[in-house]
Each structure stands twice: as C-alpha cells, then as structure tokens.
C-alpha cells in the first residue's frame, strides 16, 4: 500500500469509524486509534520509518483528522469522562498468555514496564512517564548480597504535589517493590533491569521504543 492509498484510506476511516452501537468515538479515542494503526503498519506492513504525524505525504490526512477532532469536540462527543476500568486478574492473565506482556519483544517489554509502573507506582498518563527525572533517578534498582532486589520510586511532582510554597512541608512519596521470587518470569524488577539503558534509567529505553508515549 503506497502513501497515497494509505492517506486516502486513513482519511475515509476517521470519518466513518464508529463504536459497535453506532455512536461516534471521542476525539482522543480517534487519536489513539490512529496511533495504533501506525504501530500496526510499522510492524506488520514492513514500514518501520512510517510517521503519520510528520511525513509530508500525510499532510492532508492530518488536516482532516484535526478538523474531525474539532467537530467532535464542538458537539461534545466524549465530554463526559468515564473513570478507567480496573483490569481484572483474568484479563491480565490473558495478556500474559498472548505475550502482550513479558520480555518477548521490545514492544511487549515497553508495554509491561508501562503497565507495572501504573500498577505498582500509580503512574497513569504518558505525561507522568515523560516527567520522570533521570538525575537524580526517580526509579532506582537496589541489589544487595543475600537480600531480595527491589525497585524504589520517589515521587517528585504529581497531582497532589505540584511544588511551590504550599508544597514545601509535604514529604515525597517513596514506594518500594521487591522482586517476584515466586514467579520470576513476571518479575517487575527483572524486566526493569533488562531494559535499563546505558544512562542507567529505564525510561530511556521506553521512550526510544515508544515514540507516541
């Protein structure tokens, strides 16, 4: 599929895509779907350098997407924000079985680190991951002889700690997560150790393999 056909198909898609019940997707959902399509095209269509957000061939598509997202926003589609649904143990187990979680590939490793950062350190959005500080490092690996290795996360700026004068007396939240000896194939500490970049910070690896984070 060449760029011209890709642009035409993607443009038609964003104008026609609907939920199962026939309702329109919110603007942010449309954006996330396009990001997912880009990942698919890069991996499955052998187009590793495809960049829908920057390539000149997709200028018209980006204009159409921008216009459609503004239209949806104007009509209030998705203005009522729903709370995130909790991932059940059954759903998580299915992700492991399908190898969407684990260290089977750089992509699955990134997904696992992001998922476990949210699960154990309460990091939710892409912005919270991008704001992680490298020096001094907010997520550090601690290994001592005859002791279980563990990760330590130190909260910096969050929804409850924005800094400034009012935040001077608030203590930084520190969370520790120890290695999973019972199930080492699903150990957060091991996954983080695997993806630690020469900079010594796992987010360097994550950002280099997840450009849309």
Residue 182 has pLDDT above 80, yes or no: yes
Supply the pLDDT for residue 165.
45
Model-level pTM?
A: 0.52
Which is more confident, 167 or 89? 89
Q: Quote the CA–CA distance of 17 and 213 in Å, as a whole number.
A: 23
Three-class SS of residue 155? coil
Average pLDDT, the chain: 81
Element containing residue 205 per DSSP (H, E): helix 202-209
Give the E-state strand segments of 80-191 in sequence order. 139-142, 150-154, 174-178
How far is the CA of 28 from the CAs of 33, 66, 68, 91, in angstroms? 9, 11, 11, 24
Element containing residue 188 per DSSP (H, E): helix 188-195
197: DSSP letter: -
């Amino acid at each position: 599929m060449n760029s011209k056909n890709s642009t035409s198909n993607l443009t038609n898609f964003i104008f026609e895509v609907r939920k199962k019940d026939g309702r329109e997707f919110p603007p942010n959902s449309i954006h996330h779907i396009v990001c997912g399509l880009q990942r698919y095209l890069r991996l499955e269509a052998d187009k590793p350098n495809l960049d829908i957000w920057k390539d000149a061939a997709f200028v018209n598509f980006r204009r159409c997407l921008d216009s459609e997202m503004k239209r949806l926003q104007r009509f209030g589609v998705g203005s009522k924000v729903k709370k995130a649904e909790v991932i059940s143990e059954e759903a998580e187990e299915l992700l492991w079985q399908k190898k969407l979680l684990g260290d089977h590939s750089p992509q699955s490793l990134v997904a696992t680190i992001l998922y476990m950062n949210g699960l154990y350190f309460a990091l939710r959005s892409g912005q919270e991951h991008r704001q992680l500080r490298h020096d001094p490092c907010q997520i550090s690996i601690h290994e001592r002889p005859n002791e279980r290795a563990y990760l330590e996360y130190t909260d910096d700026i969050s929804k409850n700690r924005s800094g400034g004068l009012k935040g001077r007396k608030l203590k930084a939240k520190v969370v520790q997560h120890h290695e999973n000896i019972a199930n080492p194939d699903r150990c957060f500490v091991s996954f983080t150790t695997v993806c630690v970049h020469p900079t010594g910070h796992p987010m360097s690896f994550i950002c280099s393999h997840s450009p849309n984070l």
